[in-house]
Amino acid sequence: SMSDSEEERGQGGLPSANVQRIMKQALPPNSKIAKDSVDTIQECLSEFICFITSEASDLCANGERKTISTDDVLLALQLLGFEEYLDPLRLYLWNHREQSKKSSSKRSKPTTAVADAPT
């Protein structure tokens, strides 16, 4: 029998609570989502991830590299016909990297009250 964590994650390994939260963002307030629809979306997401990863892996193999890079994933998306996702993903990546820079610079600064106080 499946453990609680296996059941919560579904066969694809993606947490159903996270999938359901993302699905709810696309729906009007007070909408309901059947569990089997969450399971179906989990399976679709897992297939999509494998599809993109396989193409990115092929790009690495052609370049005689072992590590899939962000550029490999973006190129895989483009080659597989998902061009419309490229600009939003690039924007997300840029924002993510900016946030990472800010949080790493905060960690390296002295943590005195004066240093953290707004000016």
Q: What is the reported pLDDT for 108?
A: 62
Tokens linked to 82? 């998902």
Q: Alpha carbon 82 to chain centroid distance?
A: 15
pLDDT per residue over 16-54, tens digit each? 999 999 999 999 999 999 999 999 999 999 999 999 999
Tokens linked to 9? 């994650």
Q: What is the reported pLDDT for 109?
A: 56
Question: What is the Cα–Cα distance from 85 to 17, expressed in whole angstroms?
Answer: 24
Q: Cα separations (Å) of 75 from 70, 95, 111, 113, 114?
A: 9, 20, 41, 46, 46
Q: Alpha carbon 38 to chain centroid distance?
A: 17
For a pLDDT cut of 70, what percent of the chain falls above it?
A: 79
Report the candidate in 64, 19, 62 with the shortest Cα–Cα distance to residue 43: 19
Q: What is the mean pLDDT of residues 106-118?
A: 54
End-to-end CA distance of the chain: 58
